[in-house]
C-alpha cells in the first residue's frame, strides 16, 4: 500500500543532530509514512547511524549518492518516494510530534491547496530557541497575514507575489507539507543559484498553488556553522541580491502559463521593473551607513531616480511605511482590484486538535 506521506531526509555530515531528527519522526502521532534517507557519503558517522535505524523499521529506506548539493539530493528523494504528500525533514532540524497529523488534516480539508504551512522555531546548535533572528519577523509572512494565530488560506498567486520584496515568505522547507501534484506542474528543485535556490522554487510554488496556514504546530530551523543554506538566509551581499533578482525574473517567466492574464500583463508592464528598482534602492541605502550620505543619496534619487523610487522617498517623508514592510498590503489590494480574493480566513478547522 502506498503511504500517505513521504518523509524525505537528505543527509550530509550532521551526526550531532540525527538522534533528535529521527526521534521527531518516529514520535509523530501520524504514522502512515515512508522515510527515505539520501546520504551524500557522510564521513562523520552519519551513514553508520542511518544504517542502524533502517535495520529496525521496514518503513525506512536508504541510499547514498554523490555530493551534488542539497537540491539535487531533494530531487533524488522525490524520485525514490511515492506518497501523496511530501515532507522534507532536513537532517539538522526537528518538528512537533503532531506536525504531520495536523498538516495532513489541513490538506484533506482544503483539497484546493497544495501547500500546508506551519510556524517556525529558530534554534541553535543546542536546540535552544534563539533571540535573533525571530520568526516571522525575519520574513514577509506576517505582513501578509493580519493574525498568524488563526488558520488562513493564501490563494495563488498571493504568496509568490509577496516575494517581489526579495524576502522569503517561507523561511524553511521544514514549514511545508507539499501535495506531490505540485511538482508535475512547476517542476522539481534547481541548483542554479547555489544554496539560495529554494527561493526560486518557493516563489514558483506561491505563484501557482494555494497554501493553508496551520498555526497550532511547528517545525524548527537550526542555525549552525555547517548548515547548507546558512549563507542564503543571513547575507546582505550584493551578489546574493543579484541572485534574488535573477530568481524572481525566472520564477515569473516560468509561471506565465499559470498566472491570470491580467496579473501577468501588470508584471510585464511595470510591477517587475518597479519592484526591482525598489529592492536596488533599499540595498544602496543600506550600504550608506552615515545619515549624511543617506540623505545625499536620497536627494539625488528624488532628482535623478526612477519614478517608483521618487514616489517611495516622498511616501517615506510623509511617514508612510517602507515598501518592503508593506508588500503584503499592496499586493493584496492589487489582486483585489483584479477581482481575486488572496487571503481567506478559514471558518472550518484545518486539522485535528
Mark whether 110 and 223 lie in a shared domain.
Answer: yes
Q: How far apart are the first and last CA of the chain?
A: 27
Mark whether 48 and 91 lie in a shared domain.
Answer: yes
Residue 353 lies in a domain: no
Return the exposure string of 269-307: e unless at least 16 CB atoms fall within 10 Å of the residue's CB, then b: eebbebbbbbbbbbbeeeeeeeeeeeeebbeebeeebbe
Domain count, the chain: 2
Mark whether 230 and 251 lie in a shared domain.
Answer: no
- Return the H-helix or E-strand segment holding 310: helix 307-317
Residue 348 lies in a domain: no
Cell numbers representing residue 317 in the block: 517623508
- Of the residues 181, 211, 234, the one at which a domain ends: 234
Residue 343 lies in a domain: no
Is residue 145 very low, low, confident or very high in pLDDT (cuts 50, 70, 90)? confident
| Range in 62-66, 158-162, 235-239 with the lowest mean pLDDT | 235-239
Mark whether 230 and 270 lie in a shared domain.
Answer: no
Residue 90 lies in a domain: yes
Residue 170 lies in a domain: yes
| Beta strand pairing call for 343-345 and 120-123 | unpaired
For residues 158 and 148, give the distance between their C-alpha atoms in angstroms, rounded to a whole number: 16
Q: Are 130 and 123 a contacting pair, CB within 8 Å?
A: yes
- Of the residues 234, 265, 289, the one at which a domain ends: 234
320-338 pLDDT tens trace = 999 988 999 999 999 999 9
Residue 62: give its domain's CATH number.
3.90.550.10
Mark whether 218 and 242 lie in a shared domain.
Answer: no
Mean pLDDT of 304-313: 96
Domain range for 250 is 238-338
Cell numbers representing residue 116 in the block: 500546508
For residues 120 and 128, give the distance between their C-alpha atoms in angstroms, rounded to a whole number: 13
Mark whether 222 and 298 lie in a shared domain.
Answer: no
Res 235: pLDDT: 52
- Of the residues 214, 234, 254, the one at which a domain ends: 234
Mark whether 281 and 299 lie in a shared domain.
Answer: yes
Is residue 348 very low, low, confident or very high in pLDDT (cuts 50, 70, 90)? low
**Is pLDDT larger for residue 227 or for residue 35?**
35
Percentage with pLDDT > 70 across the chain: 95
79-132 pLDDT tens trace = 999 999 999 999 999 999 999 999 999 999 999 999 999 999 999 999 999 999
Res 325: pLDDT: 87
30-82 pLDDT tens trace = 999 999 999 999 999 999 999 999 999 999 999 999 999 999 999 999 999 99
**Is pLDDT larger for residue 144 or for residue 174?**
174
Tell whether the model's pLDDT for residue 231 goes beyond 50.
Answer: no
Is residue 313 very low, low, confident or very high in pLDDT (cuts 50, 70, 90)? very high
Hey, how many other C-beta atoms are within 10 angstroms of the C-beta on 65? 13
Return the exposure string of 24-46: e unless at least 16 CB atoms fall within 10 Å of the residue's CB, then b: bbeebebebbbbbbbbbebeeeb
Res 144: pLDDT: 76
Amino acid at each position: 500500500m502506498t503511504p500517505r506521506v513521504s518523509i524525505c531526509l537528505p543527509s550530509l555530515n550532521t551526526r550531532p543532530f540525527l538522534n533528535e531528527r529521527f526521534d521527531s519522526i518516529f514520535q509523530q502521532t501520524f504514522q502512515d509514512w515512508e522515510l527515505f534517507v539520501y546520504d551524500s557519503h557522510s564521513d562523520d558517522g552519519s551513514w553508520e547511524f542511518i544504517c542502524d535505524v533502517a535495520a529496525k523499521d521496514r518503513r525506512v529506506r536508504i541510499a547514498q549518492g554523490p555530493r551534488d548539493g542539497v537540491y539535487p539530493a531533494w530531487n533524488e528523494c522525490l524520485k525514490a518516494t511515492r506518497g501523496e504528500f511530501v515532507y522534507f525533514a532536513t537532517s539538522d532540524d526537528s518538528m512537533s510530534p503532531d506536525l504531520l497529523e495536523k498538516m495532513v488534516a489541513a490538506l484533506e480539508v482544503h483539497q484546493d491547496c497544495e501547500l500546508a504551512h506551519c510556524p517556525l522555531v529558530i534554534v541553535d546548535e543546542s536546540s535552544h530557541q534563539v533571540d535573533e533572528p525571530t520568526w516571522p519577523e525575519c520574513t514577509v509572512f506576517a505582513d501578509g497575514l493580519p493574525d498568524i494565530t488563526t488558520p488562513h488560506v493564501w490563494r495563488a498567486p498571493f504568496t509568490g507575489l509577496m516575494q517581489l520584496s526579495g524576502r522569503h515568505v517561507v523561511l524553511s522547507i521544514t514549514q511545508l507539507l507539499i501535495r506531490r501534484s505540485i511538482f508535475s506542474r512547476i517542476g522539481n528543485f534547481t541548483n542554479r543559484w547555489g544554496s539560495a535556490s529554494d527561493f526560486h522554487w518557493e516563489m514558483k510554488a506561491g505563484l501557482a498553488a494555494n497554501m493553508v496556514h496551520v498555526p497550532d504546530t511547528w517545525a524548527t530551523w537550526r542555525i549552525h556553522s555547517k548548515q547548507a543554506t546558512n549563507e542564503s538566509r543571513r547575507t546582505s551581499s550584493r551578489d546574493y541580491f543579484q541572485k534574488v533578482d535573477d530568481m524572481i525574473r525566472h520564477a515569473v517567466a516560468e509561471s506565465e502559463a499559470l498566472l491570470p492574464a491580467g496579473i501577468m500583463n501588470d508584471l510585464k508592464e511595470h510591477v517587475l521593473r518597479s519592484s526591482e528598482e525598489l529592492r536596488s534602492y533599499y540595498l544602496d541605502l543600506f550600504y550608506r551607513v552615515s545619515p549624511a550620505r543617506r540623505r545625499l543619496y536620497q536627494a539625488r534619487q528624488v532628482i535623478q531616480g526612477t519614478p517608483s523610487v521618487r514616489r517611495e522617498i516622498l511616501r517615506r517623508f510623509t511617514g508612510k511605511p517602507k515598501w518592503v514592510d508593506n508588500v503584503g498590503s499592496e499586493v493584496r489590494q492589487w489582486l483585489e482590484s483584479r477581482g481575486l480574493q488572496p487571503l481567506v480566513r478559514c471558518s472550518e478547522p484545518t486539522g485535528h486538535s
